[in-house]
């Protein structure tokens, strides 16, 4: 069985979504291996893999030799990276992974993108810094060694819009480790309620109340959305974390990948998102809009490095405002390549979380 390694695969967000989907694949054709900074097994992994068949392999991402040794030892065919270093080392980590994959003879490599279309990586500072030179290194490796490379893009995670839908899983924190693992086991790696709805999305969105939401906060009956240069509501491509996992698991079976592998859960105009939410809740949302010019003004007033996260979210809004295919809007070529994967639409997701 071919081996797929997931760098950063311990995460409760994308790492879990990919691992669970690969293990849930009907024929279990691929064997996953997780690369991590330590060999600690997260509770969700212990829940779905009680026998420890999915190894968690400790690597030093700052050492190409450490990465390539691990990949060679486990005879890795495909390397997917979802690793995200927030300490300033993301660019080095990404470049070392390409080099390590290349040295180890990995046949397919996916750098850590998993966001808006690649156009956004030219304009959003933190994303640009993390990705600087990475795709060029991938293309070089592809030319020189035949290692196939692809950037998987999926739009904004839909799970941001489920934040606050369920009572906080506080009780979970009172659980013993074994009780938590049992809860996760019953839900196939996701504990019922908040965890299953949010699917591990980071609560780091920029809504004014500090809830961690982005664009929409149904629980607070409010929305903060950008307008396009013409004053209309832009479209927004969005996918649940678990659907990203399902598409990637299906894409592993494809013989060839395109350089940009775009996954679309749904593409919805922001005013439609607001109306859907209002219809579900039976209440109006207080909607605050922001023009591209005001976004530029706010960005200009930020103070670095303190406002680094604010900059990220404002720049993301500025990209969404452009209403551009290949940026905030994606053309789902992976959906066409894997037509048997049926993603959850925005309406379905919101209905499941909020009604």
Ligand X SMILES: NC(=O)c1ccc[n+]([C@@H]2O[C@H](COP(=O)([O-])OP(=O)(O)OC[C@H]3O[C@@H](n4cnc5c(N)ncnc54)[C@H](OP(=O)(O)O)[C@@H]3O)[C@@H](O)[C@H]2O)c1
Q: How far apart are CA 7 and CA 74, in angstroms?
A: 13
What minimum distance in Å lies between the beta carbon of 37 and ligand X? 3
What minimum distance in Å lies between the beta carbon of 290 and ligand X? 19
Q: Which is closer to ligand X, CB of 191 or CB of 300? A: 191
What minimum distance in Å lies between the beta carbon of 134 and ligand X? 11
Q: Which is closer to ligand X, CB of 14 or CB of 273? A: 14
What is the distance, to the nearest Å, from the Cα of residue 195 to the centroid of all Cα atoms in its chain? 16
What minimum distance in Å lies between the beta carbon of 80 and ligand X? 10
Q: Which is closer to ligand X, CB of 99 or CB of 278? A: 99
**Residue 23, CA distances (Å) to 155, 167, 233 in order:** 24, 29, 39
Q: Which is closer to ligand X, CB of 136 or CB of 283? A: 136
Contacting positions for ligand X (CB under 6 A): 8, 10-11, 13-15, 36-37, 61, 82-85, 87, 89, 93, 112-115, 154, 156-157, 202
Q: Which is closer to ligand X, CB of 85 or CB of 278? A: 85
Secondary-structure breakdown of the chain: helix, strand, coil percentages, each rounded to the nearest 5: 45, 15, 40
Q: Which is closer to ligand X, CB of 167 or CB of 210? A: 210
What minimum distance in Å lies between the beta carbon of 144 and ligand X? 25
End-to-end CA distance of the chain: 42
Q: Are 58 and 48 in contact (CB under 8 A)?
A: no
Kindly give the pairing relationship between strand 151-153 and strand 222-226.
Answer: unpaired
What minimum distance in Å lies between the beta carbon of 182 and ligand X? 23
Q: Where are the alpha helices (DSSP H) in the chain?
A: 14-24, 43-48, 64-73, 90-103, 120-123, 125-131, 134-145, 170-174, 177-186, 194-198, 241-251, 270-281, 292-301, 308-321, 333-337, 346-354
Per-position b or e across 104-123, b if 16+ CB within 10 A of its CB: bebebbbbbbbbbbbbbbee
What minimum distance in Å lies between the beta carbon of 162 and ligand X? 13
Q: Which is closer to ligand X, CB of 203 or CB of 275? A: 203
């Amino acid at each position: 069985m071919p081996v797929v390694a997931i760098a950063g695969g311990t995460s409760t967000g994308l790492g879990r979504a990919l691992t669970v989907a690969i293990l849930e694949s009907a024929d279990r054709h691929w064997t996953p291996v997780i690369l991590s900074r330590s060999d600690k097994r997260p509770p969700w992994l212990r829940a779905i893999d009680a026998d420890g068949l999915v190894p968690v392999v400790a690597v030093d991402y700052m050492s190409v030799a450490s990465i390539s040794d691990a990949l060679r030892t486990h005879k890795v065919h495909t390397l997917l990276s979802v690793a995200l270093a927030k300490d300033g080392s993301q660019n080095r980590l990404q470049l070392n992974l390409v080099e390590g994959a290349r040295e180890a003879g990995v046949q397919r490599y996916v750098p850590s993108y998993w966001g808006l279309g690649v156009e956004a990586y030219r304009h959003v500072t933190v994303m640009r810094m993390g990705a600087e030179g990475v795709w060029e290194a991938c293309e070089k490796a592809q030319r020189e060694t035949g290692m196939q490379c692809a950037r998987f893009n999926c739009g904004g995670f839909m799970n941001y819009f489920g934040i606050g839908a369920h009572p906080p899983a506080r009780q979970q924190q009172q659980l013993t480790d074994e009780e938590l693992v049992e809860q996760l086991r019953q839900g196939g790696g996701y504990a019922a309620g908040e965890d299953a709805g949010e699917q591990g999305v980071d609560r780091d969105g920029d809504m004014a109340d500090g809830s961690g939401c982005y664009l929409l906060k149904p629980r607070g009956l409010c929305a903060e959305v950008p307008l396009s240069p013409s004053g209309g509501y832009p479209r927004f491509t969005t996918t649940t974390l678990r659907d990203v996992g399902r598409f990637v698991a299906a894409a592993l079976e494809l013989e060839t990948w395109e350089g940009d592998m775009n996954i679309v859960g749904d593409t919805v105009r922001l005013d439609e998102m607001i109306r859907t939410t209002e219809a579900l809740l039976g209440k109006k949302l207080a909607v605050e809009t922001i023009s591209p010019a005001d976004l530029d003004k706010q960005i200009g007033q930020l103070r670095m490095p303190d406002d680094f996260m604010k900059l990220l979210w404002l720049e993301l809004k500025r990209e969404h405002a452009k209403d551009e295919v290949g940026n905030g809007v994606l053309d789902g070529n992976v959906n066409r390549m894997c037509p048997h994967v049926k993603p959850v639409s925005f309406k379905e997701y919101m209905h499941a979380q909020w009604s």
